[in-house]
A = this chain, B = another copy of it.
Amino acid sequence: MAATVRDVARRAGVSAMTVSRVVNNHPGVSAETRAKIEAAIAELDYAPSKIASGLISSRTQLIGMIVPDVSNPFFGPVVHGAEVEARRAGYRLLLCNSESDLRLERDYVEDLVQHRVEGLIIAPVSDRSAEHLRRLVTNGFPIVLLDRYIDGLPVDSVRLDNAAAADLLARHLIEKGHRRIAFVTDASNVSTARDRLAGLRKALSGAKVAFDDELVFRTTTDQLGGYRATQQILALSERPTAIFAVNNMIALGAMQALRQAGLSVPDDIALVCFDDIPHLAVISPFLTVIDQPAEQMAEAAAHLLLERISGSASGAAREVSFPGALIVRTSSGEAVPRRRRR
């Protein structure tokens, strides 16, 4: 296992170079010699070092991937999709969880560069990720932005058409009779949050419903954030008839808060969100959502990256955008005649 080309060469009675040729399937080695070498490789349990060959070729066959958290039901499939596509090209994934922490993300980016990954697929924390990514872009380092894009950072990106999808989801709510729609969202420096809000505004304005800035609640994009924001929503003097959560985790937190307040969905208040929660519908076809094709998006991202790495694509940044699918279930039910407080 700790054997080197030279060990194999000695054992087979040839030079290291010939061993290298056999290992890499280069032509011009006699069948006889090849057989001897293969025998020696097997006997010594020789495993060629990609680290040594990578040093020469600058090709590590490694791709860096940074997501906020693999255990999130959206990012799990994303990582899987990227890995599948990378595998097809003989690449492996170096996986990092940024925990939505800009500093940690920055450190990971630096570390991945030191590991000489050949490219990076990243779902950036926010627009501020540009601070550490721009340096790489300037140096021509291949990057693909996934899920979130960053204005002014000229790199390939793959994402949902969030504005259109949010418009679709909001129009559905409006059709159901909802007019006062609370929007629970992320910081405004995240493209998904911006685009989804834009979609909501578009739908409202299309229906001649005034947009109320007071109904936009900014919070952390986790369950706790959704929970807290919903508590604020319920404290409003004129309660909205629907909550539009910018993602699945926020919707779950909202659900907790609603249940705790003794409210039922959708009878007392409707709840919709982005991101389907995989498998949930099998047990309980409840949440009306915008479903994103997470695996496909990630495969597309990996594909774009591999094209940059291989040089088969060059030039201007490319944008790939997927449509979101509206899945209507029960949580978006009809708006009920308005009541004050409770």
Given A71-B76, A71-B77, A96:B83 Cβ within 8 A? yes
Query: How distant is the Cα of A112 from the Cα of B83 in the complex, in angstroms?
Result: 14
Contact B84 A282, beta carbon cutoff 8 Å: no
B96, B252, B279, B284: the one contacting A73 at CB < 8 Å is B279
A94 at the interface (CB under 8 A from B): yes
B75, B83, B141, B280: the one contacting A97 at CB < 8 Å is B83
Please report which residues of chain A, range 92-132, place their CB below 8 angstroms from some CB of chain B when the two chains form the complex.
Answer: 92-97, 110-116
Query: How distant is the Cα of A45 from the Cα of B134 in the complex, in angstroms?
Result: 13
Contact A116 B279, beta carbon cutoff 8 Å: no
Contact B73 A73, beta carbon cutoff 8 Å: yes
Contact B283 A255, beta carbon cutoff 8 Å: yes
- How many chain A residues touch B (Cβ–Cβ < 8 Å)? 59
Tell me the number of copies of this protein. 2
Contact A76 B70, beta carbon cutoff 8 Å: yes
> Across the two chains, which residue of chain B brings its CB closest to A60?
B51
CB-CB < 8 A to A55: which residues of B? 49, 51-52, 55
A79 at the interface (CB under 8 A from B): yes
Please report which residues of chain A, range 45-103, place their CB below 8 angstroms from some CB of chain B when the two chains form the complex.
Answer: 45, 47-52, 54-55, 60-62, 69-73, 75-77, 79-80, 83-84, 87, 92-97
A26 at the interface (CB under 8 A from B): no
A219 at the interface (CB under 8 A from B): no
Return A278 CB to nearest CB of chain B, in Å: 7
CB-CB < 8 A to A72: which residues of B? 76
Query: How distant is the Cα of A141 from the Cα of B136 in the complex, in angstroms?
Result: 35
Query: How distant is the Cα of A79 from the Cα of B83 in the complex, in angstroms?
Result: 14
Contact B139 A1, beta carbon cutoff 8 Å: yes
CB-CB < 8 A to A97: which residues of B? 80, 83-84
Given A51-B55, A95-B79, A283-B255, A139:B45 Cβ within 8 A? yes
CB-CB < 8 A to A60: which residues of B? 51
Contact B295 A282, beta carbon cutoff 8 Å: no
Contact A256 B282, beta carbon cutoff 8 Å: yes
A224 at the interface (CB under 8 A from B): no
Binary interface profile of A, 1-33, with partner B (CB < 8 Å = 1, else 0)?
110000000000000000000000000000000
A277 at the interface (CB under 8 A from B): yes
A286 at the interface (CB under 8 A from B): yes
CB-CB < 8 A to A84: which residues of B? 97
Query: How distant is the Cα of A263 from the Cα of B94 in the complex, in angstroms?
Result: 45
Given A49-B116, A73-B73, A282:B252 Cβ within 8 A? yes
Contact A50 B114, beta carbon cutoff 8 Å: yes
Q: Which residues of A contact B (CB under 8 A)?
A: 1-2, 45, 47-52, 54-55, 60-62, 69-73, 75-77, 79-80, 83-84, 87, 92-97, 110-116, 135-136, 139, 141, 223, 248, 252, 255-256, 277-280, 282-284, 286-287, 295
User: What would 6 A/B residue contacts be, using CB atoms closer than 8 Å?
Assistant: A2-B139, A47-B110, A47-B114, A51-B60, A92-B96, A223-B282
